[in-house]
Amino acid sequence: MFHVVDTTIFDRPLLDDLCELTTLVRTVAKAPEGARQLQQLASTKRAMLYFTQPSTRTFLSMNNACHVLGIRTSEIRNASVSSEVKGETFEDSIRTFSSYVDLIVMRTPDPGYAARAAELMDSIPRPVPIVNAGSGSDKHPTQALLDIYTLERSFEGSGGIDGKTIGMMGDLKRGRTVRSLSRLMRHYEGVKLVFIAPDTFEMEPDIKAFLNERGIPFTETGRLHEILPTLDAIYVTRIQSEHDVDNESSRVDLAPFTIGTHELGLLKKTAAIMHPLPRGPEIAVEVDEDSRAMYWRQERNGMWMRAALIAKIFDVDQQIRELASHSS
């Protein structure tokens, strides 16, 4: 594994392997001795976190995932404090970062930048891997991985993701998390997707075409209450108003696309409620108390999954397996 720009590099064996590795990292890290041993695995490596778009979870979980493996990190979180303000091109900036570190994790407001960075790396003498931590409203591959891990764990006793009906709700048009997660669903058998959104924010045609080409059944609805009892998981998303061009979010009635105590009563006892966070009003705080609410676990899983992914990139995953076999 080298660059992680989009979800195309993942297949089912790799997804299963990453999920297993994530559990091993978590387990080993629980004991102080294990946590210390993990920190030896990549302690000669350095990573750059280049986040020119707001981020709390992805930034912190990537940063701490690096620390779990002993990787030292440096960061730029605002293009206005980099030489880009002096007119340096994006390509020259990325090439500069690569001079100092062994890995670049990046989030940008525009789609396509992570791909451009990866292409640049492939053309220089000392390339470093690029990990896309969210590109515009288009892609968020590492979020999709932690979502897969959380879903697999939620359905541990019932055959995993295969055969499940998964609802995705909210701003499906501009939500990069649901776009990347939908793409990964092709690796699971018998999955059905239900897209629940107001007309303005329905899933984009490119994802629907992708699902059609791969024979993944999906339906679209605006009626949450009718569909809720059929769902094994509901993945709720926030309205991405930062992408508004004409204040369109303010004209949409979002009340029918929220989860509160009434909706909990309609949902299966075994269902998983997911959200990439941050949340708006689409999940009431009372839902946090419900045992089906998975989003806080999902958040923590993000750190372990990203540590597993970075371990793969630096080829130290076998050592993690060895540490786990000694500790068990």
Q: Which residues are catalytic?
A: 57-58, 86, 107, 140
For residues 220-239, which are near ligand NCD according to CB under 6 A? 237-238
Respond yes or no on whether the N-terminal peptide bond of residue 217 is cis (omega within 30° of 0): no
**Strands, E assignment, the chain:** 46-51, 72-76, 103-108, 130-135, 165-169, 192-196, 218-221, 233-236, 272-274
Closer by beta carbon to ligand NCD, 102 or else 138? 138
Minimum CB separation from ligand NCD for residue 146, in Å? 9
> Residue 22 and residue 38: Cα distance in Å, rounded?
13
Minimum CB separation from ligand NCD for residue 209, in Å? 22
Using rule CB under 6 A, residue 143 touches ligand NCD: yes
Closer by beta carbon to ligand NCD, 58 or else 154? 58
Minimum CB separation from ligand NCD for residue 103, in Å? 19
Closer by beta carbon to ligand NCD, 42 or else 144? 144
How many Å separate Cα 144 from the centre of its chain?
4
CA-closest candidate to residue 176, choices 233, 119, 240? 240
Cα 163–Cα 168–Cα 174 angle in degrees, nearest 5: 140
> Residue 22 and residue 309: Cα distance in Å, rounded?
8
Minimum CB separation from ligand NCD for residue 223, in Å? 23
Using rule CB under 6 A, residue 57 touches ligand NCD: yes
For residues 67-126, which are near ligand NCD according to CB under 6 A? none
CB 53 within 8 A of CB 108: yes
CA-closest candidate to residue 233, choices 168, 189, 184, 281? 168
> Residue 293 and residue 273: Cα distance in Å, rounded?
5
Using rule CB under 6 A, residue 167 touches ligand NCD: no
Using rule CB under 6 A, residue 58 touches ligand NCD: yes
Closer by beta carbon to ligand NCD, 57 or else 186? 57
Using rule CB under 6 A, residue 63 touches ligand NCD: no
User: Which position among 34, 134, 136, 160 is part of the footprint of ligand NCD (CB under 6 A)?
Assistant: 134
User: Which position among 45, 95, 140, 173 is part of the footprint of ligand NCD (CB under 6 A)?
Assistant: 140
Residue 102 has φ and ψ, to the nearest 5°, of -110, -5
> Residue 310 and residue 304: Cα distance in Å, rounded?
10
Binding site for ligand NCD (CB under 6 A): 57-58, 134, 140, 143, 176-177, 237-238, 276-277
